[in-house]
Structures are given as C-alpha cells and as structure tokens.
Amino acid sequence: MNMIYCTCNISVQDTILEIIEDCNIREYQVIDQVKAKNKIANPRFNDPVWPGYNSAIMMQVKEDQKVERLAAQLKEFNSTAFNKAELVTFCTWPLTHYFFD
C-alpha cells in the first residue's frame, strides 16, 4: 500500500483528477487552496502580491501497477505543461497501516 501526494496549480486540477480517474484510482482526497512556494516558479500565496494557489491530492493505492501508471502519466503531463507554473509535484511512500472500517 502506498500513499501518494500530488500538488498542482489550480488551473490544471481538473485535468489531474481526470488522469487519476483514468488510472482507476477511486480513493483520494483533494485539499483546496494550498499556498505554495517551489524552486522553479513564482510563489502562489493567493494574495495580491502572489496570486493563485495550488491543490493537494492525496491517494491511498494498494496496487503497484496503478502507482506506476499514474507516475508515468503525470510525468508525461509535466513534459507537455504550458509553463513551469503548471508542473505537478508527485511523491509516494509506503503505508504501514491503513483502514477504513
């Protein structure tokens, strides 16, 4: 079981959610209006100086092939991004415990 953390500019959130659904990942949480600063684009603090914001999407995925497919599709998305502000951040780590019962 893996935890996946993905952040994206709000402008591409719908596209990223479509990719997630296309990978047959049905369990995820969207955290809206995430303020962010990264090393290659302007900050997005949703204020007059630094407008815009990110979304964070967290997923719990059991099947390794789904994780690999999602990683490949998001990497492909990044290779065709309109600009650096639309790049998606993606990371995973193993989950020791997960239950929903």
CATH architecture of 2-94: 2-Layer Sandwich (3.30)
Q: What is the pLDDT of residues 54-78, one digit of tens each?
A: 999 999 999 999 999 999 999 999 9
Q: What is the pLDDT of residues 18-35, one digit of tens each?
A: 999 999 999 999 999 999
Distance from C-alpha of 8 to C-alpha of 20, rounded to nearest angstrom? 13
Provide the percentage of residues in the chain whose pLDDT is more than 70: 100
